[in-house]
Amino acid sequence: MAHTALLYFVGPAGAGKSTLVASFQDWMTANGYEAVTVNLDPGAESVPYEVGIDVRERFTLAEVMDEYSLGPNGAQVVCSDLLALEIDWLGNQIKDIDCDYILVDAPGQTELFLYREASNIFIRGLSPSTGLVMLFDPLLSSTPSGFVTQLLLASAAHLRFPVPLFPVLSKCDLIEQEKVDSVVEWASNLDILEMSLDMSAGMEGVLSSEMLKVLRTLTLESHLIPSSSKEGQGMEDLYSLVQASFAGGEDIEAHRDPS
């Protein structure tokens, strides 16, 4: 039983994680690969893909709110800790899966998922080949200072988890192509991002410019993949990048552990 890699889809609430898991799974199936999905969001009311493993079998956000008399925000925090207790249950299910990629839909409140201790247990403990697909929200990313805040979230994830990180600009059908091109250029060349910040007036520009100095030391310059689940854009680019990272870009079958 084996898989090439396990990919966590993370990013701000509503960035399109669940939809991208669905579109990427569809793309893989259409191209002859096998992807199994895992829903780690106990608060999801419905998910747009066929769920392979579902944490809602263990507990749901509504049950936690009820049991602990909490509102949705407090319950999210409890859920993220309860999730850590499910590591053995999840590990047991995953070890029986034989597929190319395991696609994990992270909980909606990604900041919680990334910053609580539970995430360490997950990201380090479930698979020897783990990657993070980090979604950048297109509307938050379309101004230079907004893009810097998205980079900060990505860099926090990168610092906490020493695993490959694949940045994706999601829902790019919602912004003009010219803007998509600028954002992709900012990601690949922080000098150009800095020049764009210099042109934006006021404290926001100054602060972002200072933050950028920190980000430079993390050498986060990278290839940002524009994607649209609605239009099926970016799936092949995402696949090529993860495949290059986990299987040296060659055919998956040749690299699968036959055990």
Q: What is the largest CA-CA distance in the chain?
A: 59
Q: Which of 142, 228, 235, 252 binds ligand GTP (CB under 6 A)?
A: 228
Q: Which of 4, 6, 18, 212 binds ligand GTP (CB under 6 A)?
A: 18
d(CA 208, CA 144): 8
If the CB atoms of residues 153 and 247 are measured against ligand GTP, the closer one turns out to be 153
Q: Which does 56 bind (CB under 5 to 8 A by kind): ligand GTP, Mg ion, none?
A: none
Residue 229 φ then ψ, to 5°: -65, -30
Least spacing, CB of residue 229 vs ligand GTP, in Å: 4
Least spacing, CB of residue 233 vs ligand GTP, in Å: 8
Least spacing, CB of residue 207 vs Mg ion, in Å: 30
80 contributes a contact to Mg ion by CB under 5 A: no
229 contributes a contact to ligand GTP by CB under 6 A: yes
Q: Which does 204 bind (CB under 5 to 8 A by kind): Mg ion, ligand GTP, none?
A: none
Least spacing, CB of residue 221 vs ligand GTP, in Å: 25
Work out the angle between the directed axes of helices 144-160 and 202-217 (0-180°, nearest 10): 30
Q: Which of 4, 18, 80, 208 binds Mg ion (CB under 5 A)?
A: 18
Which of these segments, 18-26, 74-82, 128-136, 183-191, binds Mg ion (CB under 5 A)?
18-26
Q: Kindly write down the DSSP assignment for every residue of 10-44, as one continuous string.
A: E-STTSSHHHHHHHHHHHHHHTT--EEEEE--TT-
- Name which of 160, 162, 141 is nearest 151 in CA terms: 141
d(CA 185, CA 96): 42
Residues 6+ away with beta carbon under 8 Å from 30: none
141 contributes a contact to ligand GTP by CB under 6 A: no
Measured at the alpha carbon of residue 119, what is the angle toward residues 113 and 122, in degrees to the nearest 5? 130
Residues that bind ligand GTP (CB under 6 A): 13-19, 41, 108, 171, 173-174, 228-230
